[in-house]
A and B are shown apart, each in its own frame.
Chain A
Amino acid sequence: MFQPDSNISRKKPTYFREHQEALYKSLEDKHATVEVDQSDPLATRMTLNMGPQHPATHGVLRVLMELDGEVITKCRLDTGYLHRGIEKMAENKTYQEFMPYTDRMDYLSPYSNNVALCLAVEKIANMEIPDRATYIRMICCELARISSHLLWLGTMIMDAGALSFFLWTFREREKLYDIFDEVAGHRFTVSHSRIGGVNNDFTPVAEEKIRKFLREFPDELKGWHKILDRNRIFVDRNNGVGAIGHEEGIAIGLAGPSLRATGIAYDIRTFEPYMLYDQMDFMVPTRTEGDNLARYYCRMEEMAESVRIIEQCFEKMPKKGPIRVDDAKKSYPSKDEVYYSMEGLIHDFMMTDTGICPPAGAECYHAIEAPKGELGFYIQSDGTGHPWRLKINSPSFSNLQGLETILDGEMVADTVVVIGGLDPVMGDSDK
C-alpha cells in the first residue's frame, strides 16, 4: 500500500481509490533520482490538483502538481475523463457511419476531422475524387483552421487576463459558423464530407459569404497584431514561458504549431502533400524560441496563410463539375437518383447497409495537418464494410504528453497560459 509523504496532507479518495493512489504514487516517483530535502521547515511544499473541472484547462484535464512555493517541481497529467471509446465504436460501424463521430473528436475543427477520415478511407479503397470536391474540402479545412485558431487566440488571451479579446474572436467565429451553416447545413458538427467527395456543392450564397469573410478578416488580424505584438503585458506574460528546444520537442513528440514554434518545419501539407496542397503557394511559419510567444506568432501567421490558400483555391477551382465519385459501388448516389430511379434507391440502401469494402488484409495510414497538428488514421481492413482496427493519431494527445515535461520548473501561475498555448482539446486526446 502506498504511503504518502507525511509532510503533505491529503484527503482519502472516495471513488476509484486504486486509480487515485496509483496517480499520487506516480507523482512521488517522478524524478525519483533527485534527492529532495524532506525536512521542509517552512512547509512550502504542497500537492495541488488542478481540474478536471477547472475552466482554464479547456475541457476535463486534470493536472496534479507538486509545488515548492510557487514553482512546479514536478507534475503529472490525468486524462481520460472524456474517453468514449471512439476506436471501439469505429470497429462496429461502417466507414460512412463513423464519419459523424469524428466531428466529436476535435470539436473545434470538425471539418478537418471529417476530411482526414474520408481521405484515409479513400486511400485504402483506392478512390480518386473529383477536383471540385477536393477544392471544397481544402477551402473548408482552411476555414476550420482559422476557426480553431480563433478559439485558441480568444481563450489563451483570456487565460492571460484579457477578457474582451474572447468576444472579438468569437465575433469572427460566428461568421465562420454562418458559413458552415450555409455550406453544410450545420453550424458546429458539420459532417459535410462524404467518402468519395462531399455532400453538396457550395451555394452562391455560401461562396459570397466566404469571399466576404476573406475580404474582411485580414484587417481584423492586422488589428489584433497591432494590439498584441508590442503589448508589454502580453509579451511579458508569454515570453520565455513554457519554452522548449527543438531536440526536446522532437523527443517528447510535440505536434503542429507547438513543434513548429521550436524551429522544426514539420507540416504534413509540405512534408507529404495531400489533396492539392502541392499546387498551392504558401509558407509554413516557424519560430525558434519554442516558448508561448513563439506559438502565438506561428498560429497568427498560419491564419494569414490560410486566407492566402483559400484565395488560391477559389482561383483554381473548376467552376462546375461533379462533387462526388460517380460510382455507386463506392459512394452515395445523388439525392436526385435516389428519389427518381430504382437503381439509385438500391445503391443508396446498399451504401448505408454495407458501405465501401476495402480489400481484405489492407493496411494504410493517412495523415492531414489538422489545426492542432498531425491527425492521422491507421486503418486495417478485413474486407468487410467495417474497419478491423482504426487507430486515431490525435495531435492533442501528443501535445499533452509534452505538457508533462514543459510544466516542470514553471511557475504555477503560468500553468494556465502554457495549457492555453498548447491548445489541447480533450475530445481529441481522450478519444
Chain B
Amino acid sequence: MNIEIRDNLLQDIREFMGEDLLEMNLEYIHPLLRIKRDRLHDACRFLKNTLHFIYLNEIIGTDRFTSEDRFEVIYHLISLRNRQRLFLKVRVEEENPVLPTVTDIWKSANWNEREVFDMFGIRFEGHPDLRRIFLPEDFKYYPLRKEFPLLGVPGSLEMPNTTPDHD
C-alpha cells in the first residue's frame, strides 16, 4: 500500500464530499471514512467511476448499541489499479433502518446486503432480491443484534420431529 497514492485519493474524496465527510481514521493504514447517509449512493458512484474502486469486497454490519444512530454499515472497497483498500461507513438509526442499495453500482453487493439484512435487519431499498441468506424466512429475529441471546430463542423455528413414528 502506497501512502502517497492513498493521500492523493483521500484528498480527492475530501474535495468531493466536503462537509459530508464526517470522520476519517488512518490509524491502521487502511482509511476508514464515515460519511453522511444521504450521500452514500452518490459517494459510491464517485468512488467507482472516478477513483476506480471497482471491486466491492464485502459489506459489514455492526451494532453500536447506542440510542442514536445505532447501526453502522461499512463498505469494503478495493481499487486494483492503485492497490488501495478503503472502508466507507454510514450510520443508520434503530427506528426504520433503511439504506439505499448499491447493487446497481456493484453487482457483488447482492449477497452482502442480504447478509447484513439477515443479521441486523437493515433493509436496502431497491435491492432486487432482499431475502434472508443464512436463516430461513420463518425466523423472526436478527441474531447479530446485541440484545439477541447467545443461546438463541427456544421455539423460534419449527423443527422436524426426530422420532420416526410421530404421524
Contacts and interface: CB of A to CB of B under 8 A. Distances in A.
A188 B135 CA distance: 28
Given A253-B55, A365-B76, A272 B143 contact: no
A266 B164 CA distance: 51
Contacts of B56: 253
Given A365-B85, A389-B63, A250 B55 contact: yes
Contacts of B110: 401
Give the size category of A's interface with B. Answer: 35 or more
Interface in B1-46: 1, 25, 27-28, 30, 32
A283 B159 CA distance: 50
A16 B57 contact: no
A92 B152 CA distance: 13
B59 to A, nearest CB: 9
A401 B111 contact: yes
Nearest to A17: B138
A378 B131 contact: no
A124 B58 contact: no
Interface string A99-127: 00000000000000000000000011000
B28 A18 contact: no
Q: Is the interface of B mostly helix, strand, loop or mixed?
A: loop
B108 A398 contact: yes
B1 A378 contact: no
Contacts of A400: 111
Which 3 pairs, one residue from A and one from B, show the smallest C-beta to C-beta distance? Answer: A253-B108, A80-B134, A19-B136
29 contacts: A15-B158, A16-B158, A23-B131, A79-B134, A80-B132, A80-B135, A83-B134, A85-B143, A87-B144, A92-B150, A123-B28, A250-B54, A251-B106, A251-B108, A253-B108, A264-B80, A266-B55, A272-B1, A362-B27, A365-B30, A365-B85, A365-B87, A378-B74, A393-B57, A393-B58, A398-B58, A400-B111, A401-B110, A401-B111
Interface of A: 14-19, 21-23, 26, 29-30, 79-80, 83, 85, 87-89, 92, 123-124, 250-253, 264, 266, 271-272, 362-365, 374, 376, 378, 380, 388-389, 391, 393, 397-398, 400-401, 405, 430-431
Interface of B: 1, 25, 27-28, 30, 32, 54-58, 60, 62-63, 74, 76, 80, 83, 85, 87, 106-108, 110-111, 115, 119, 129, 131-138, 143-144, 148, 150, 157-160
